[in-house]
Amino acid sequence: MIGTLAHAAPYVGYVYPNETDIPWGVLIVIYPYITGLVAGAFIVSSLYHVFGMAQFRPVARFALLTAVSFMFFVPVPLLFHLGNPQRAFNAVLTPHWTSAMAAFSYVAGFYICLLLLEIWFAFRADIVALSKTTSGLLRTVYRVITLGSDDVSPRSLAIDHKFAFLLAMIGIPAAGGLHGYVGFLFGSVKAREWWSSDLMPVIFLLSAIVSGIGLLIVLYVAYSKFRKVQVDDDCMKGLARTMWAFLLVVLVMEVLELLEMFYKGLEGIDMVRRLIQGPIWFSMLIQWGGSIGVLAILTALIVFKTKGKSLVTWLTVSGLAMMVAVLAMRWNVVIGGQELSKTMKGLLTYYPEVFGQDGLLVVAFIFTCPFIVLWLTTRLLSPWEPEGPTPPKTRQPEPRWPWTISPRVSKPPRNPPKTSRNPRSPRSRA
C-alpha cells in the first residue's frame, strides 16, 4: 500500500482510486518501439530480396542482421515488467487461444526462426568460406554454423537463393502481423477512448516501417564512416523515397483518426481534447513537429535531386528525427491512454522513474543491448560487399514477363542470291 501511494500519479478532476497507479510504464512504451524497428529493417531487406530493387543491395544483408539483433530483445521489456519472468512460459505451455497476448509468444518465436533461417541461407556461402580460412575457436564456430552443408556449387547457391526468396516472401506478412498485433491489442480496448480505433493496427505498422528505415539509415551511415567507405548515393535515394512514401501515408492515417474521433463526438471527447492540450502536449509536439519536419526535408531532397554529402547529412538527420518522433508516438499511445481516466472527468500525469524495475536506466540498458549484439554479429558475419574498384554501370535489360509477346523480326537469308551480270541488261549497258 505504501509503495502504491509513493508512485501515485497526480491528477485533476475525478478519477477512480485504483487509477492513480499507472500499470504500464516506459517498459511497455519501448516494447512496441523495438518491435517496429525490427519490422522496418526487414521490409527494407525484402525490397531487394523479393522485389528485386537493386538500389537496396548495399544494405539488404545488413538489414537482416539488424532485424534479428533487435528481435532478440523484443520480449525483454515484457519479461522485466512481469516481475517473475519464469511465468512467461505458462503462456506457451498452456495457451489461451482467445487471448491476443498469449498469441504473441508463438508469433515472436515463429518470426525469430524465420529470420535465422533466412540469414543462414543468405550467408551460407560466406560461412563455408570462413570455416576454411579461419583457425582456432572461430573455425569451430563457423563449422558448427554450416550444419554440415559445405557445398557451394552454382546449383547449391541457386537453391539457397530460392529458399531465401521464399522465406522473405513469408516474412513480409509475418512482419505485418508481428507489429500489427500490437496496434490490434490497443485498438481493441473499448474502455479507452484514446485507444479504441480501427486504424490503430495500420498506424502502428506503417509508423514501425518508417522508424525502422530511419534506424537503418543512421546505422548504415555510421558503419560507412567507421569503415571509411563511401555511402552509396542510389541506396540513400531509395531509402529516402521509401521513407517519404510510408511517412506520407502514416500522417494521412493519423489525421483521419483524429478527425474521426472528434467528428463522432462521443462521451468524454472533451477530456481527450484536454489530454492533448495538457499532459501529452510536449510529446504530441515532438511527434507531429518531427514527422512534418522530416516530410518537408525528404520532399526537398527528392524534388531538388540532392546527392553527395548534403544528401547523407540531411537524410541522417531525418532518420534520427523520425526515430524520436515515432518513440513520442508510442509514448502518446501507451501513456496517454492511461492518463485519461475511465470516469471521463479527470486526467492523470505520469512521471517515469529513473531507478527501479520500470525505470529509465533499465530501458536505456535494454535499448543499448541490440546495438552491441549487432556489432558482434557484423564481426562474425560481414554483411558488406568486398571493397574494390566499382564496376562500370551498364544498362540493365528490360524484364521479359511471361505474358509479353516479342515481335517477330524477319531474318536475312543465309545465302543471298547472287546478282547475275548479264552484259545485255540495261544496267550493264549504262
Distance CA 133, CA 139 (A): 8
308: Cα separation from own chain's centroid: 25
- Which residues lie below 8 Å from residue 339, measured CB to CB, with a gap of 6+? 9, 22, 275, 279, 280, 347, 348, 349, 350
β-partners of residue 346 are: 13
Q: How many domains does the chain have?
A: 1
In a domain, 183, yes or no: yes
Place of cell 528525427: 321
Report the chain's mean pLDDT, rounded to a whole number: 84
Residue 93 confidence (pLDDT): 81
- Which residues lie below 8 Å from residue 401, measured CB to CB, with a gap of 6+? none
In a domain, 397, yes or no: no
Residue 18 confidence (pLDDT): 75
Residue 416 confidence (pLDDT): 52
Residue 395 confidence (pLDDT): 44
In a domain, 405, yes or no: no
290, 279 in Cβ contact below 8 A? Answer: no
In a domain, 401, yes or no: no
Distance CA 187, CA 194 (A): 9
Residue 427 confidence (pLDDT): 47
β-partners of residue 353 are: 359
In a domain, 137, yes or no: yes
- Mean pLDDT to the nearest integer, 112-134: 93
388, 51 in Cβ contact below 8 A? Answer: no
In Å, how far are 153, 400, 406 from 411, measured between CA atoms? Answer: 38, 21, 14
Residue 396 in this model has a pLDDT that exceeds 60:
no
296, 254 in Cβ contact below 8 A? Answer: no
Distance CA 306, CA 300 (A): 8
What would the grid cell of residue 421 be?
A: 551480270
In a domain, 430, yes or no: no
What would the grid cell of residue 425 be?
A: 541488261
CATH number of 33's domain: 1.20.1630.10
Distance CA 26, CA 45 (A): 29
Angle value at C-alpha 413, between 407 and 418, nearest 5 degrees: 150
SS3 content of the chain, % helix, strand, coil (to 5): 70, 5, 30
In a domain, 11, yes or no: no
Domain that holds residue 213: 21-386
The DSSP 8-state label assigned to residue 19 in this structure reads G
In a domain, 363, yes or no: yes
Q: Tell me which of 66 and 404 has the higher pLDDT.
A: 66
Residue 188 in this model has a pLDDT that exceeds 80:
no
237, 292 in Cβ contact below 8 A? Answer: no
Question: What is the DSSP secondary-structure string of 317-342?
Answer: HHHHHHHHHHHHHHHHHHHHHHHB-T
- Mean pLDDT to the nearest integer, 376-390: 79
Question: What is the DSSP secondary-structure string of 339-397?
Answer: HB-TTSEEEE----BSSSTTBHHHHHHHHHHHHHHHHHHHHHS--SPPPSPPPPP-PPP
Residue 339 confidence (pLDDT): 86
- Mean pLDDT to the nearest integer, 197-210: 88
Cα dihedral value 62, 68, 74, 79, nearest 10: -140
Residue 271 confidence (pLDDT): 84
- Mean pLDDT to the nearest integer, 369-385: 93
Residue 62 in this model has a pLDDT that exceeds 90:
yes
Residue 430 confidence (pLDDT): 40
β-strand pairing of 11-14 with 345-348: antiparallel
What would the grid cell of residue 140 be?
A: 569451430
Sign of CA dihedral 347, 353, 357, 362: positive
